[in-house]
Amino acid sequence: MESPQTPRTATRKMTKVFKALADGTRQEILQLLEEQPYAVGEIVAKFDLSQPTISRHLSVLKEADLVVDQRRGQNVIYRLNDMALAASMRQFFGRFRSCQEVLR
């Protein structure tokens, strides 16, 4: 069940989502996960950044509910949270008349 959202908490949540999206590396991670789920180590291998840094970025994305993690043996698999991404998108842009025509 969805708990009711006040406009305030909705705004805070959107801010968290936008902050998560407001970084080039995190955008690239999301696009990577759009292909398929990946383990942290695999993601690290695709960037020129340290493992802790990537782990931090993943944490931010998770906090924003844009990805979901799942332990699989020694590995932790991250996958895109499609539904949450689409939902955030609807929620924010739905407030703008001019964007209504782009949403269905």
Partner DNA sequence: GCGACTCATAATCGCTAGGTCATGGGTTCA
Partner DNA sequence: TGAACCCATGACCTAGCGATTATGAGTCGC
Question: Would you tell me which residues interact with its own copies (CB under 8 A)?
Answer: 11-12, 14-15, 18-19, 21-24, 27-28, 30-31, 34, 80, 82-83, 85-86, 89-90, 92-93, 95-99, 101-104
When CB distances are held under 5 to 8 angstroms depending on the partner's kind, the choice from DNA, its own copies, none that residue 6 binds is none
Smallest distance, Å, CB 86 to its own copies? 5
* CA distances to 6, 85, 87, 97, 102 from 68, in Å: 25, 12, 15, 32, 27
When CB distances are held under 5 to 8 angstroms depending on the partner's kind, the choice from its own copies, DNA, none that residue 90 binds is its own copies
Element (H, E) at 5: none
When CB distances are held under 5 to 8 angstroms depending on the partner's kind, the choice from DNA, its own copies, none that residue 39 binds is DNA
Contacts of 13 (CB under 8 A, 6+ apart): 5, 88
How big is the chain by its Cα radius of gyration, in Å?
A: 15
Nearest to its own copies of 71, 104 (CB atom): 104
